[in-house]
Amino acid sequence: MKKKGHRRSRVIGTAVAAVAALALGGGGIVLITDDAEAGGEASASAPGTTGQATAATIDCPDVAVRLSQVPQQARPEVDAELARMDSQVADAYRRLAASGEATSRQWVNSRVLDPLAEQRSTALDRIGTAIDRVGTSPGNLASMAACTLKRDAAAPVVSASPAPKGSPAPNASSAPAASGPNKSDFVDIRKVRPAAAKPRARSGASTGTFTSRCGRNENKHFNSDNVIVAPGVSNGAHHKHDYVGNLDTSAFSSNESLAAAGTTCSNGDRSTHYWPVLRLRDGQREADADAPGGGQDGNVGRILQPASVKLTFRGSPVGKVTAMPRFLRIITGDAKAFTSGTANANASWSCTGFENRRLKDKYPLCPSGSRVVRTFNFQSCWDGANIDSANHRTHVAFARQDGSCPSGFRAIPQLVQRITYNMRPGSVFAVDSFPEQLHKPVTDHGDFINVMSSSLMRKAVFCINSGRKCG
């Protein structure tokens, strides 16, 4: 038995090394050890060093979230600068990850963090100038230039073979991680406590639903753009998105092109729905292994097609809903939640048969016969005036705990995107992410642009408010 176990661990270790090399183009991953240097700081060291070690990534202030007030005339220039800053962080992370043995704290500061701060300072100056031309620039922009190192557990996992029957635990090795996920990022769904019940519907609630059936991206509509956050910028997301619905969606889409495009939705709904692809991390190369948004940005493994995609609009538990405006843009979740904090995180991971047990910052390990479930519950309150906002958040809001909207907001149909995947127990998988976010489950997010016709939106609102189930 011992001899067999030793043989298996060697196979797993080899697979981990292959995944690491594929993720970083042959480069290593920086590890931060707890050994003190002369200056008293923790030191960064290459794979193979001894001591307690944690993987390191780059943590920068999220400028986009803080810019809640940007004049409309300045937004194209500001958005372009923000996208450039994302590329700067991604490039800095690649230098950090490929640094090999030259990873002393002094080296990291002088070759990675200091140059990055200078780049960001220049970009922040340009943002301030763009806003000043048509309004008043927010103060303290310069304070967001500096970035730091953030630690993470360094216990990578790889799926080298199916897990034993009845055990969903992933296979693991002590070899250094490339860019995630880590063993600690997974949890057996059967060990998760059931969530609290949702608020009960009051008298006069809108209890109906409206469903758009838009397929499972059978046409393989992928790109690494983000038309909401980085319009006009190729590879603005630095990770691949799955798309269903509107066939035109890319960084260069306009309201006019979206309105004129075809759709995968059976009811003619031209709305755009997208989310990061999920990949099986088994060491196999995908077609984009050398491409932007794929292997160049640390996103490796086979892209998994969803087993099912359900797009449902629900009502309010406290009253009726009003129509969404056409071209309303909503993002739920936060692609940078690992480094920026979880204030805007809204990932929901679970397994079929266990959907009252939901995870925010862990991937679920599902028992045999159960599918992995990703659910995106979108904001259901709108400010009544704007189809977007500078930080893509303040024009919409989540309902309060009792189901009512905050003051100044009105209830709209709540979109719920529910995606499932067939997965062998013990498989290691991860969402695509910005390189420095290390494929953490808490960074999962969903995006939506409403391109329903006025007549279809009226039908949706009528179905929801009258308690019917349509679609």
Q: pLDDT per residue over 386-440, tens digit each? A: 999 999 999 999 999 999 999 999 999 999 999 999 999 989 999 999 999 999 9
Note the pTM of the prediction, 2 decimals: 0.85
With cut-offs at 50, 70 and 90, classify the pLDDT of residue 33: very low
State how far the Cα of 166 lies from the Cα of 189, in Å rounded to an integer.
Answer: 13
State how far the Cα of 399 lies from the Cα of 313, in Å rounded to an integer.
Answer: 15
Look at residue 199 in the predicted model and tell me its pLDDT: 74
Look at residue 336 in the predicted model and tell me its pLDDT: 97
Residue 24 has pLDDT above 50, yes or no: no
Query: What residue segments make up the domains of the chain, in order of their start?
Result: 17-153, 183-470
Residue 328 has pLDDT above 90, yes or no: yes
Specify the range with the lowest mean pLDDT, choosing from 135-144, 317-326, 335-344.
Answer: 135-144
Q: Give the H/E segment covering residue 459.
A: helix 454-465
User: Over the stretch 199-217, which tens digit does the pLDDT of each residue have?
Assistant: 777 888 999 999 999 999 9
Look at residue 159 in the predicted model and tell me its pLDDT: 39
Look at residue 177 in the predicted model and tell me its pLDDT: 39
Look at residue 258 in the predicted model and tell me its pLDDT: 98
With cut-offs at 50, 70 and 90, classify the pLDDT of residue 367: very high
State how far the Cα of 153 lies from the Cα of 17, in Å rounded to an integer.
Answer: 17
Mean residue pLDDT of the chain comes to 85
Look at residue 174 in the predicted model and tell me its pLDDT: 28
Nearest to 367 by CA among 171, 169, 182, 156: 169
Look at residue 106 in the predicted model and tell me its pLDDT: 85
With cut-offs at 50, 70 and 90, classify the pLDDT of residue 135: confident
Task: Please list, in sequence order, all residues whose beta carbon lies within 8 angstroms of the beta carbon of residue 37, skipping any fewer than 6 positions away.
Answer: 43, 104, 105
Residue 3 has pLDDT above 50, yes or no: no
Mean per-residue pLDDT, 442-459:
98
Mean per-residue pLDDT, 374-388:
98
Q: Give the H/E segment covering residue 149.
A: strand 148-153
Mean per-residue pLDDT, 110-139:
94
Mean per-residue pLDDT, 312-336:
97
Residue 233 has pLDDT above 90, yes or no: yes
If phi over 0 gives left and psi between -120 and 50 gives alpha, with beta otherwise, what is residue 293? left
In 27-113, alpha helices (H): 63-66, 75-97, 105-108
Three-state DSSP class for 270? coil
State how far the Cα of 332 lies from the Cα of 326, in Å rounded to an integer.
Answer: 18
Mean per-residue pLDDT, 57-85:
94
Counting Cα atoms < 13 Å in the Cβ hemisphere of 395 gives 18
With cut-offs at 50, 70 and 90, classify the pLDDT of residue 134: very high
State how far the Cα of 180 lies from the Cα of 185, in Å rounded to an integer.
Answer: 9
Specify the range with the lowest mean pLDDT, choosing from 139-143, 323-327, 453-457.
Answer: 139-143
With cut-offs at 50, 70 and 90, classify the pLDDT of residue 4: very low
Q: Looking up tokens 């159960």, which residue turns up?
A: 370
277 within 8 A of 304, measured Cβ to Cβ: yes
Specify the higher pLDDT residue, 392 or 19: 392
With cut-offs at 50, 70 and 90, classify the pLDDT of residue 342: very high
Residue 253 has pLDDT above 50, yes or no: yes
State how far the Cα of 404 lies from the Cα of 395, in Å rounded to an integer.
Answer: 16
| Dihedral sign computed on CA atoms, order 215, 218, 223, 224 | positive
Task: Please list, in sequence order, all residues whose beta carbon lies within 8 angstroms of the beta carbon of residue 443, skipping any fewer than 6 positions away.
Answer: 333, 334, 335, 336, 337, 338, 345, 347, 431, 433, 434, 437
User: Over the stretch 137-175, which tens digit does the pLDDT of each residue have?
Assistant: 888 899 999 999 998 865 444 433 344 455 555 543 322
